[in-house]
């Protein structure tokens, strides 16, 4: 907090992570004036899932873009996934892919005179699934299998498995057919991986974090 009896008040943040604050001044005539002050952009990603075309907007919290000194377009970057992130450089973007088993990972950055702020996001299509369709579930540490929810006695075989990292690079392909997927020796603990498994003529995709 800063006190002054001068005509000018200098504000210096003691918290480098501060994005919003306020200043209140009492004039000599007793009138009090209050004004919000901002540091780096205080932003968040707002996702709208509309069928197969998920939309994303970068918005500021508790104010407007101009009140935080943001006048330039956002910088959109795709960091992973097998879909495509599309933006015209403004504060909105959308993602597209083939079929229903795709996703996009990315980040968006906004800048004002105090610096830049970046938020990360994941986009995937919203689909209406068959409650009896096969699903890829965790059955033990780092081990996944195909489950038939309407008939648990069925043990579907996985004809082919591909493992991708968050950048969309394939790190492993498992053949021939097996009844489970073991990730124990593929990556270190806490790694995000994308499993793409083929069973009974269908492809199932699941994003997992290794144990």
* Rounded distance between C-alpha atoms, residue 186 and residue 27, angstroms: 66
Q: Whole-model pTM?
A: 0.49
**Quick one: pLDDT at residue 107?**
93
What is the pLDDT, as a whole number, of residue 1? 46
Tell me, letter by letter, the H, E, C secondary structure of the chain: CCCCCCCCCCCCCCCCCCCEEEEEEECCCCCEEEEEEECCCCEEEEEEEECCEEEEEEEECCCCCHHHCCCCCCEEEEEEECCEEEECCCCEEEEECCCCCCCEEEEEEEEECCEEEEEEEEECCCCCCCCCCCEEEEEECCEEEEECCCCCCCCCCECEEEEEECCCCEEEEECCCECCEECCCCCCCCCEEEEEEEECCEEEEEEEECC
Q: Where are the domains of the chain?
A: 43-123, 135-209
| pLDDT in the model for residue 127 | 60
Residue 74: what pLDDT? Answer: 92
Q: How far apart are CA 171 and CA 58, in angstroms?
A: 32
Which fold does the domain 135-209 belong to in CATH?
Immunoglobulin-like (2.60.40)
What is the model's pLDDT at position 155?
Answer: 65
pLDDT of residue 124: 83
Asked if residues 80 and 167 have their Cβ atoms less than 8 Å apart, the reply is yes
**Residue numbers of the chain with a pLDDT score lower than 70:** 1-22, 35-38, 49-52, 61-62, 126-133, 149, 151-155, 177
Q: Domain 43-123 maps to which CATH number in 3.30.70, 2.60.40, 1.10.357, 2.40.50?
A: 2.60.40
Dihedral (CA of 188, 190, 196, 198) sign: positive
The answer to whether the 43-123 and 135-209 domains have the same CATH topology is yes
Per-residue pLDDT at 12: 54
Tens-digit pLDDT profile for residues 19-78: 556 677 777 788 887 766 667 888 888 888 655 578 888 887 667 788 788 888 899 999
């Amino acid at each position: 907090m800063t006190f002054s009896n001068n005509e000018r008040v200098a504000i210096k943040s003691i918290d480098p992570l501060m994005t919003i604050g306020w200043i209140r001044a009492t004039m000599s005539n007793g009138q009090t004036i209050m004004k919000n002050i901002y540091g780096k952009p205080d932003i968040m990603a707002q996702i709208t899932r509309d069928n197969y075309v998920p939309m994303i907007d970068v918005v500021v919290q508790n104010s407007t873009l101009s009140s935080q000194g943001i006048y330039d377009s956002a910088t959109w970057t795709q960091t992973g996934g097998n879909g495509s992130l599309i933006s015209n450089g403004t504060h909105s973007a959308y993602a597209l892919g083939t079929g229903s088993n795709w996703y996009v990972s990315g980040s968006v950055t906004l800048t004002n005179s105090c610096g830049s702020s970046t938020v990360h996001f994941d986009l995937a299509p919203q689909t209406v699934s068959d409650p009896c369709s096969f699903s890829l579930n965790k059955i033990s540490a780092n081990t996944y299998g195909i489950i038939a929810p309407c008939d648990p006695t069925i043990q579907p075989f996985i004809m082919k498995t591909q493992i991708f990292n968050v950048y969309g690079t394939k790190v492993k392909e498992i053949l021939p057919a097996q009844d489970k997927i073991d990730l124990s020796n593929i990556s270190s603990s806490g790694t995000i991986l994308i499993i793409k498994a083929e069973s009974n003529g269908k492809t199932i995709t699941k994003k997992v974090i290794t144990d």
